[in-house]
């Protein structure tokens, strides 16, 4: 799931710390790096785009990647809609602001789907950076309903919404919400901007 890197419309919480232009600049380079990092013949990458009126797709997104519109509604409604697009194949949704995501995490998630009805990638703040299902022909009607998004209860609520379907977790990762997260990941700060580098492991 991606957004166009428009100042004031993406990573606004981070923008309150470092400026909206810098936050959009960071997100622009983060998404480009993530797409390069996860490109692999074992899976098909599809960009689920949160459309911004009158805003063209940024050139950093490879033209050969398929795009779909996230549509309207809260994050749960949009994720349910995206999962429902895939009727016969496993589908995994990931966030685009997590510098730690590697190919091994995606491969592990697909592996877990061979034995589970859902898979989640927990985040350290109580949410999740990944959700997947093996086939999406019979999603429970309750999925992602009544979830307290952007809180420490998001993952717990999402699992509760699965109507007793079983799930398994993959690696717990962190996203970037504020300037402290940037420093934790090892991104170098200057007085005027951010120098994007590989996060320290």
Residues 6+ apart with CB under 8 A from 147: 76, 153, 154, 157, 158, 161
Domain ranges, ordered by start, for the chain: 2-195
pLDDT digits (tens, 9 = 90+) for 134-187: 987 678 999 999 999 999 999 999 999 998 899 999 999 998 988 888 887 766
In words, the CATH class of domain 2-195 is alpha beta
Q: How far apart are CA 125 and CA 72, in angstroms?
A: 25
Task: Please state, rounded to an integer, the average pLDDT across all residues of the chain.
Answer: 89
- Cα 149 → chain centroid: 14
């Amino acid at each position: 799931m991606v957004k166009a890197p428009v100042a004031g419309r993406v990573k606004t919480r981070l923008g309150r710390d470092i400026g909206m232009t810098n936050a959009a600049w960071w997100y622009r380079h983060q998404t480009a790096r993530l797409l390069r990092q996860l490109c692999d013949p074992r899976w098909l990458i599809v960009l689920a785009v949160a459309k911004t009126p009158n805003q063209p797709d940024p050139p950093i997104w490879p033209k050969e990647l398929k795009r779909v519109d996230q549509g309207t509604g809260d994050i749960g409604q949009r994720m349910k809609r995206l999962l429902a697009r895939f009727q016969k194949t496993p589908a995994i949704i990931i966030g685009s602001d997590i510098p730690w995501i590697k190919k091994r995490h995606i491969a592990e998630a697909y592996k877990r789907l061979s034995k589970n009805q859902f898979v989640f990638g927990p985040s350290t703040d109580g949410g999740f950076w990944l959700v997947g299902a093996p086939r999406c022909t019979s999603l429970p009607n309750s999925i992602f309903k009544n979830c307290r998004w952007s809180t420490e209860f998001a993952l717990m609520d999402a699992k509760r919404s699965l109507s007793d379907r079983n799930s398994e977790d993959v690696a717990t990762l962190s996203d970037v919400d504020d300037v402290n997260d940037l420093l934790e990941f090892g991104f170098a700060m200057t007085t005027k901007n951010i120098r994007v580098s590989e996060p320290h492991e």
